[in-house]
Amino acid sequence: MEGFYARRAGDGSLQGMADGLLLLAKHKNLEIMTQRVDKNATVWLTPGTDEDDFEFFFVHEGEMEIDIDGEKVSFRAGDSFYIHRLKNNTLMRCTQSALILYVSTCPVFSGEAYWQEELRGMLRRINEKDHYTRRHSRAVMRYAVRLYEELKEYCPGLTLEDYVLGALFHDVGKCNVPGEILRKKDRLTNDEYRVIMHHPVDSGRILEPIYGKRIAELARTHHERMDGSGYPCGLMGEEIPFEARILAVADVFDAMTSDRGYNKVKSFEEAAQELYDLDRIFDRRVTETLVRLVQAGEITVAEDEEDE
């Protein structure tokens, strides 16, 4: 029927994966959501950025306490409240796991900060399956960004901010890979390998609506190799965006120099030289720069990355 829109229970969306938030409907800036909050979890209620911002909460299930002027006030199933021109941040704590209907006139889902938090949450969840991924993501981002700074003339039109985010979240598609496969130390079966090979495509699919086509493409092509031996598409040479050739080097450099429990850990010098020698596989301009930066002591392990 024209003008009638339905949404069935179980229709998922990417948004539903964060903080238990699920977007049910959206019209201009108006968003209608449900939010599941675990027992003892806390949520900040924050003043809107605009005077007209209005946020309404209906407690469908569970119970929560809100700190109102130093006093804890309880809300139970059937209760509701709204915030409008709130003066200070206010903490809401769920004393029982809760399901809330949440209506907001200030977009919760379109904010950049929200998405970054969402993606960081995804990295944390991948990290629960495989401790390697989160540390790896941050290390790769640092190496890739340092290389990008030296080589940005080959990546016109790409901002540093975008590159940082693309590099940090390049493996976010691993959220769809089962933990047993991510953690497996023995050789993968063909089927398992096929599952792993899908993660760049999934990373691209997740990043595209947030950061656009170019960053999605960066994630999608970070396992492609100059001689066509990479995945998922077997692209060759110039078919691979330059920024992805940088990311590929940073990615493998971290894999070679960090302890994954089954590999021989190489020194930065050894790894950089080895990558430089693989000139059919990696772009020489990138590996040359890596060797130079390593020799100059400009690529180092950050303290917070050493153990995690």
Q: Residue 150 CB: number of other CB atoms within 10 A?
A: 17
Instruction: Note whether 194 and 181 are within 8 A (CB).
Output: no
Nearer to Fe ion, 98 or 247 (CB): 247
Closer of 57 and 211 to Fe ion (Cβ): 211
Instruction: Give me the residue label for tokens 């590159």.
Output: 163
- The stretch near Fe ion (CB under 5 A) out of 8-16, 26-34, 245-253, 276-284 is 245-253
Q: Which string of b and e fits 72-96 if b means at least 16 CB within 10 Å?
A: eeebeeeeebebeeeeeebebbbee
Q: C-beta of 226: minimal distance to Fe ion in Å?
A: 17
Nearer to Fe ion, 31 or 224 (CB): 224
CB of 118 to Fe ion, least distance (A): 19
Instruction: Pick the stretch among 21-29, 43-51, 164-172, 300-308 that binds Fe ion (CB under 5 A).
Output: 164-172
Minimum CB separation from Fe ion for residue 193, in Å?
13
Q: Which is nearer to Fe ion, 155 or 250 (CB)?
A: 250
Looking at this protein, which amino acid is placed at residue 50? Answer: D
Does 251 bind Fe ion (CB under 5 A)? Our answer is yes
Smallest distance from Fe ion to CB 250, Å: 9
Q: Judging by beta carbons within 10 Å of its beta carbon (0-12, 13-18, 19+), is residue 143 exposed, middle or buried?
A: buried
Q: How many residues bind Fe ion (CB under 5 A)?
A: 2
Under rule CB under 5 A, residue 171 binds Fe ion: yes
Q: CB under 5 A: which stretch of 56-64, 75-83, 246-254, 293-301 binds Fe ion?
A: 246-254
Least separation, in Å, of the C-beta of 70 and Fe ion? 47
Minimum Å distance from CB 170 to Fe ion? 6
Residue 243 or 251: the one with the smaller Cβ distance to Fe ion is 251
Between 171 and 224, whose beta carbon lies closer to Fe ion? 171
The binding site for Fe ion (CB under 5 A) comprises 171, 251
